A and B are shown apart, each in its own frame.
Chain A
Amino acid sequence: MTPATPAPMTDISHRQAHASEQPPVPAIAETQTRADQWIICEHCDSVYEAMPLNKGAAAYCLRCAAILRRSHRLSIEQLLALSIAACVLFIFANVFPVISISMQGLHNEVTLWGSVQALAQGQITLIALVAGLAIILAPALQIALLFWVLAHAHRGEIAPGFKMCMRTLEHLRPWSMLEVCLLGILVAIVKLAGMLDVHAGVGLWAMAMLMVLIVLIAGKDIRRLWDELGVGPE
């Protein structure tokens, strides 16, 4: 058995990588050094040999059709710049109200934190913790940790606590729900528009832009730092 080779993909619509010519069977001693160039599919455990990808290309697993790897769209500097922008937008999204309403001369507005607090009453406080994690804490930590590791990576350094930062980023990713929050804000606006005057706040626009940035910077792609900074086993 030899590792198959994910061919570089230029045509995304063509949904599979092709196993091209088979490299020779590695000797046992060679195995661990060669393993650095292997990609293992996390969905089916197939082993492939990594090959350089063209810009905008992706390699797919031949067996289960999962994405094995994508080429990097952004450079470290661009990622760092986006994470600084995300930091500013995050502050805006949290300081300014996302929705304001008025009714018979009365006026009220809500921030993200205010909406989490509204859930924190009596028996249902637990869900306020989940919501707080999903829309405030997880994104805040993601942005802070990304800024920390990227700012050092930009200078070619490995940030202090790099391993812990990278592990935390991996574990936070599924719990960060800004996209859902944005849709929730839009639904709430439509819901209330029927009975009172509703206005979108500055926070909403910041949220919308922040969501795009988080999608760009906080994906699995950040794992490339392990290789690019040459962080290896001790």
Chain B
Amino acid sequence: MNGIPCAREYKVTLCHVCSYVCPDDAHECPRCDSPVHRRKPNSLTRTWAFLIAGLIFYIPANLLPVMYTTMLGSSSENTIMSGVIEFAEGGSWDIAILIFIASVVVPCIKFLVLGLLLVTCQRRSTWAMRERSRLFRFIELIGYWSMLDVLVVALVAALVQFRGLSTIEPRLGILFFGLVVVMTMLAAMTFDPRLIWDAEVEDVR
């Protein structure tokens, strides 16, 4: 310990909704009536559950088509990756990279980082705690940008509705992809970053 005291030593707990300093034994914040916990309840188990659900949904999200296009008689189905490749081949590298980052890189980073945080917290590792804290704040920040592809499909499908000429429809893959984003967001919300630092002190909870 480097001389910075913990909330525990003063018998206080932070309310995550209004930042009020609550007494240790409170179950409800005296100021805003939200439930308060010294640590989020069952944080590790619940985060694992959301993370694994997200990983499972990620498989159909990539395999199933997200969009169905008919253009002057010919029709095609696109998955997320084939959409990216189409952009790249069409010469719009910037958009291809943007969608690739939002739909592939961001979810994968979230899976990896959350997995790493969960494993290191379970082992009560004191390795790189400050950096792991930073990593957590980073994935909290980037998480929702994965919604990009869902919104693009929604906009494009709503616009291109010319019967007989050209239509675009959303397909099942986009549902799974949206669920991946929701699951990883919930996983990040249920993870308690204070667990990273609990490895420093004995007898937590």
- On A, residues with C-beta under 8 Å from B are 1-4, 19, 31-32, 35-36, 38-40, 42-48, 62-66, 98-99, 101, 103-104, 106, 108-110, 114-119, 121, 123-124, 126-128, 130-131, 134-135, 163, 166-167, 170-171, 174, 177, 180-181, 183-185, 187-188, 190-192, 194-196, 223, 226, 231-234
For the complex, give the distance between the alpha carbons of A99 and B153 in Å. Answer: 14
- B window 145-182: CB within 8 A of A: 145, 147-148, 150-162, 165-166, 169-172, 174-175, 178-179, 182
Our pick among B7, B92, B158 for the contact of A47 (Cβ within 8 Å) is B7
- In the complex, chain A residues whose CB is within 8 Å of the CB of B87: 191
- In the complex, chain A residues whose CB is within 8 Å of the CB of B196: 44, 64
For the complex, give the distance between the alpha carbons of A1 and B6 in Å. Answer: 9
- B window 108-140: CB within 8 A of A: 129-130, 133-134, 136-137
B25 at the interface (CB under 8 A from A): no
Contact indicator B130/A65 (Cβ below 8 Å): yes
Our pick among B92, B148, B169 for the contact of A190 (Cβ within 8 Å) is B92
Our pick among A47, A121, A131 for the contact of B151 (Cβ within 8 Å) is A131
Contact indicator B7/A45 (Cβ below 8 Å): yes
- On B, residues with C-beta under 8 Å from A are 2-14, 16-21, 23, 30-34, 71, 87, 90, 92, 95, 98-99, 129-130, 133-134, 136-137, 144-145, 147-148, 150-162, 165-166, 169-172, 174-175, 178-179, 182, 185, 189, 193-194, 196-197
Interface of B is mostly: helix
For the complex, give the distance between the alpha carbons of A63 and B133 in Å. Answer: 10
Of all chain A residues, the one with the shortest Cβ separation from B4 is A46
Contact indicator A180/B194 (Cβ below 8 Å): no
**Apart from A63-B4, A190-B95: 16 A-B pairs, beta carbons within 8 A:** A42-B16, A45-B6, A47-B10, A104-B165, A114-B158, A119-B170, A123-B172, A123-B175, A134-B144, A135-B151, A174-B144, A183-B145, A187-B148, A188-B155, A188-B159, A223-B18
Contact indicator B150/A131 (Cβ below 8 Å): yes
For the complex, give the distance between the alpha carbons of A131 and B169 in Å. Answer: 16
- In the complex, chain B residues whose CB is within 8 Å of the CB of A117: 158
- In the complex, chain B residues whose CB is within 8 Å of the CB of A192: 156, 159-160
- In the complex, chain B residues whose CB is within 8 Å of the CB of A47: 4-7, 9-10, 12
For the complex, give the distance between the alpha carbons of A135 and B152 in Å. Answer: 12
Of all chain A residues, the one with the shortest Cβ separation from B92 is A190
Instruction: For residue B148, give the distance in angstroms from its CB to the closest CB of chain A.
Output: 5
Contact indicator A31/B11 (Cβ below 8 Å): yes
Instruction: For residue A207, give the distance in angstroms from its CB to the closest CB of chain B.
Output: 12
- In the complex, chain A residues whose CB is within 8 Å of the CB of B134: 64-65
Contact indicator B174/A119 (Cβ below 8 Å): yes
Instruction: For residue B18, give the distance in angstroms from its CB to the closest CB of chain A.
Output: 5
Q: Can you report 24 A-B residue pairs in the complex whose CB atoms are below 8 A from each other?
A: A1-B9, A4-B4, A19-B4, A35-B10, A35-B12, A39-B19, A42-B194, A44-B197, A45-B194, A47-B5, A47-B12, A64-B196, A106-B162, A108-B160, A109-B159, A118-B158, A119-B150, A130-B182, A134-B151, A167-B18, A170-B17, A177-B144, A183-B145, A184-B154
Contact indicator B5/A2 (Cβ below 8 Å): yes
Contact indicator A38/B21 (Cβ below 8 Å): yes
For the complex, give the distance between the alpha carbons of A194 and B150 in Å. Answer: 20
- In the complex, chain A residues whose CB is within 8 Å of the CB of B147: 131, 134, 177, 180, 184
Contact indicator B2/A45 (Cβ below 8 Å): no
Of all chain B residues, the one with the shortest Cβ separation from A119 is B154
For the complex, give the distance between the alpha carbons of A39 and B71 in Å. Answer: 59
For the complex, give the distance between the alpha carbons of A32 and B158 in Å. Answer: 56
Contact indicator A226/B18 (Cβ below 8 Å): yes
